[in-house]
Structure 1
Amino acid sequence: MMRWNSIVFKLGLTIFIILVSVLLPLIYAINQLFSGFYLSENHHQVDRLADKYSNILKSTEDLASLTTVANLTETEICIIDQKGKILYSSNKGLFRSGNHVSNKLLQTLNSKQTVQIEYQNPTNNTNYIVSGKPLRLSNKVSGGLLVFSDAEHIKNSVRHMQLLLVVSLVGALFIALGFTYIASKKLASPLLEMEKVTREVAKGKFYNKVDVSSNDEVRSLALAINDLGQELERYRNRQRDFFANISHDLRTPISYIKGYTQVIYDKLYTDEKEKEQYLSIIINEVNQLNVLIDDLFELSKLEGGQLELYLNWINVQELIEGCLNKVRLKAKQKKIQLSIQLKDNIPYIYTDGARLEQLLMNILENAIRYNKLNGHIEIKGWIEKKKVYLSIKDTGVGIAEEDLPYIFERFYKTDKSRSNRLGSTGLGLSIVKHLVLLLEGEIKVKSTLHKGTTFLITLPSKIKGDVQDEKL
């Protein structure tokens, strides 16, 4: 059963009102056009008959023949004098000789103009269409000729035509109702399906899809809903993986810390060297917990817009060399070669040096972590079109093509295994992405599986005059 406040009813009512708004004026215009045309044609026909009768009488002056002519043409003919007295009538029952016609007819004849009016006979209350012509016969009779045509059959014809128009209108309205119902159902069905799927998605059933075959904005909306469902499902899966990883990464160091602390507390070690080894493990696990907590806290501040920038003039070469010095020991352990190539035209960058160093360190540590033995990491820098470009290229394991669009999303991990616990939260590149945007830059990535990855960072290059103008 259709609800009054449903989209189908509202859409159908709108379409029906539009159709009725078009049909009613159209039917009215057709009625006026045909009625006016039919009445006008009958008036002209009576007028032509009056002309013919007048010409015949002027040539023959045979009044007796008028009765025969009147019967053949289904009209009534009267000849009157200048005072309106009836001198001759083809129907003496309706128009008696010696009687006078109305002043309206008489005044029109006295003006010597052709008259064409509607007239109601008081004898039988019948309406007539009247056409009058001035008439003069052998200088004996000077008056006029009146031709009366029964208007009832004309009005009956008009009413018949109007009845047909009304029937047509009713039929058209029923057809419009059927068309409206079908059209509204057809137009509203995709919206109803979207509502159904959206409610299912709200319940967590992200696999439901909207199937729309049209190629318009409705289909675009349906595809957007489908994409939303996919994104929500992907987000839920990533969140599930994230909590599983976080729980693993929290549980593992806590287990180590608890276990080795218990060993030291119970004095189950054999000598001081073994005790120091246990303490070293505890410290390493505490450090790993700090890294994990710091990443989570940093990301929450970035996404909440709570991170403040401290802008200053930064020497790019010194900053990059400082980053390489910090990771050089880790790179040496895997026999990874580090190199830097900076163009001489790179200026000082007016930016937050700490944040720029943080994002570079995240990328470099990832490059070392996922690089091969005897691999290579190369940093290049140049300026082009008032922008500074920094490229970090490694010879690591690479990233699969299907993973590339999602590597900057939080919780996402290309390596699903937990064999490498260090940095396995999937937050590092998400932090990098937010930091680059915070510094008004861009970051792009190209990668080939088993061959390596290249990150390209673009930062705005400002000269000192521009910065001073901004401060002013």
Structure 2
Amino acid sequence: MKSGVFRRLLVTYILIMTIIVGLLSVLMSQYLKVYFFNNKQKDLTNTGRQVETQLIRYRRGDLTKEELEKQINVIGRVTNSRIIIVDGHNSGAAIADTGLEDDLETILKRVLDGEKVIKRQQYASELNSYVVVVGIPTGSAESKGAILLFSPVYEVAQALRKVYEVIWITAAIALVVGLILVWITSRRISRPVIELSRMAEQIARGEAVPDVHGMADDEIGQLTRSFNYMKNRLAETDRMRKEFIAGVSHELRTPLSSVRGFIQGILDGVICDDDQEKYLRLAFEETNRLTRLTNDLLDLTKLEAGVIKLNKKEIQLRKLIDDSILTIRRSSGKEGFTSIVTVTPENLSLKADPDRLKQVLINLLSNASRYTPDNGKIEVEAKLYGSEVKILVKDSGIGIPDAELSFIFEKFYRVDKSRDSSAGGSGLGLSIVKNLIELHGGSITARSSAGNGTVFEIILPQ
């Protein structure tokens, strides 16, 4: 992984830099070559205009032929060029030079026809080198003439060679410096990816790894934060899984051990015939407890997996609360508490799943009934606050200590650490309640203190 990511980044950057630097060097070289040749052509053209001026003076009689040749020679030495003048007034004879080569005669004919000719490279055997040729037509239609200027290419070539050396040396230095920077950048980019890969392998092996810190606010940093979040979520899920398994094991072990003991006692004859019905009833109660625990586990699993869908309807809160209290009285057989129901306004309704909301109320009322002594009071209050409905379930029971209050919605959590099944419940009821309320888009909180009763507050969107 390390060599793969680092090598791919390094090779990719090197290829990109080499292509860019090479392309820029070639383009710069070609540009300068064209630039130098164009300047040479402009210089020769300007020289040709100077020669034409002297030729006009010669035609006017201001200069003799010898003076013209002298002027042309001076101009040629100064500009390092060879100059040929063909004067139409002298029947096309060369005034300032003679001996045109065959390949230059074609150029001369084109110039005499009135065409300005520029050739960047033309071999001149007399000079034994390549030259830049500029041909300028002169005279009138009746007496056509031409000025031909030749300048060696080696001057331009020498200048270009020096420029090429500078360009390629600069390119080489830039490439070396770039390679060093690319190596550093590749290491910097690949290091967090390699580190995350190594940590992912450690997590896969079940090892604990710390959070990764100090990343920049870029895509790599975002990847690191996502990795930290995923790692912590996995750790939390694993912790919850272990606690869940431990809780389920504990909850199942006690009733199963009891049922097994009762049946074993009856089979071994330890329990006499008169007591068998009593112990069979106890075994039946334990199997009912196991059934409730299994149903709660299934409900909680479905809720946490998000597979439970709500069937929302318009429901009257007063009727739903009364039905829930009646259900608790019948199922618990406990009539010794006073129930008070207050709904404001009395026809208060909301859109919710009636079965799931009744399940919430029954769970809360069952807890209130279980931990409220005889002749105690259970009060249910529902009010409308703007677009929300607040439901309060209060009891005058034994209450919950402050230190325990923040844990009561966790799975299998009981304030009674002994987990005595005589108190009833599986430790899943409040966790189910919380999930159902949140599935409705609401929230639930609890307020209590030891000996002063408990208040559960539900807020639901109407």
Whether the TM-score (by the shorter chain) exceeds 0.5 is yes
2:304 and 2:268 map into 1 onto residues whose CA distance is 45
Give the whole-Å Cα distance in 1 for the aligned partners of 2:401 and 2:226: 31
- Superposed displacement of residue 261, structure 1: 4.6
Instruction: Find the partner of 1:128 among 126, 131, 138.
Output: 131
User: Does the CA contact (< 8 Å) of 1:443 and 1:455 recur in 2?
Assistant: no
- TM superposition shift of 1:196: 1.7
Contact map agreement 1:39 1:154 (CA 8 A) in 2: yes
Match of 2:87 in 1: 81
Question: What residue is the counterpart of 1:52 in the other structure?
Answer: 50
Give 1 or 2: higher helix fraction: 2
SS in 1 for 2:95: strand
Q: Distance in 1 between matches of 2:16 and 2:416?
A: 59
Instruction: Deviation per CA, 1:333-373: give whole Å up to 9, x if none.
Output: 89976532212354566765443322222233345567799
Q: CA deviation at 1:76?
A: 1.9
Bigger Cα displacement from structure 2, 72-81 vs 276-285: 276-285
Query: Would you say the 8 A contact 2:107–2:117 is kept in 1?
Result: no
Q: Distance in 2 between matches of 1:293 and 1:270?
A: 32
Secondary structure class of the residue paired with 2:96: strand
Check the 8 A contact 1:128/1:148 in 2, yes or no: yes
**Residue identity matched to 1:78:** I
**In the alignment, which residue of structure 2 is the partner of 1:469?**
none
Which residue matches 2:160?
158
More displaced 10-residue stretch of structure 1: 442-451 or 245-254: 442-451
The 2-side partners of 1:16 and 1:315 are apart by 73
Alignment of 1:193-272 (within 5 A): 193-263=195-265
Q: What residue is the counterpart of 1:178 in the other structure?
A: 180
1:428-443 equivalences in 2 (<5 Å): 428-436=429-437, 441-443=440-442
* 2:443 is the alignment partner of 1:444: yes
Alignment of 1:67 with 2:83, yes or no, is: no
Give the Cα separation in 1 of the matches to 2:266 and 2:222: 65
Note the C-alpha offset of 1:154.
0.7
- 1:92-103 matches, within 5 Å, as 96=99, 102-103=105-106
Name the amino acid aligned to 2:321.
I
1:380 is aligned to 2:369: no
Name which of structure 1's ranges 202-211 and 369-378 shifts more when overlaid on structure 2. 369-378
2: CA distance between counterparts of 1:314 and 1:301? 24
* 1:43–1:129 CA contact under 8 A, matched in 2: yes
Per-residue CA deviations over 1:172-217 (Å, capped at 9, x if unaligned) read 3444433333222222222222222222222222444333421233
Distance (whole Å) between structure 1 residues aligned to residue 387 and residue 104 of structure 2 = 104
Residue in 2 aligned with 1:363? 364
The 3-state SS of whatever aligns with 1:239 is: helix
Q: 1:25 to 1:429 in 2, by over 3 A?
A: farther
Letter of the 1:123 counterpart: E
Instruction: Give me the CA root mean square deviation.
Output: 4.4
Distance in 2, Cα, partners of 1:310 & 1:69: 104
Distance 1:248 1:101 in 2: 111
SS in 1 for 2:148: strand
| Count, aligned residues | 442
* 8 Å Cα contact 1:109-1:115 kept in structure 2: no
- Cα 1:144–1:342 change in 2 (3 A) is same
1: CA distance between counterparts of 2:363 and 2:318?
18
CA distance in 1, matches of 2:164, 2:295: 86
Distance in structure 2 (CA, Å) of the matches to 1:84 and 1:255: 131
Counterpart in the other structure of 1:463:
none
Change (3 A) 1:381 1:44: same
Kept after mapping to 1: 8 A contact 2:329/2:335: no
CA positional deviation for 1:389? 4.3
SS state at 1:204 partner: coil
1:402, 1:187 → 2: CA distance? 47
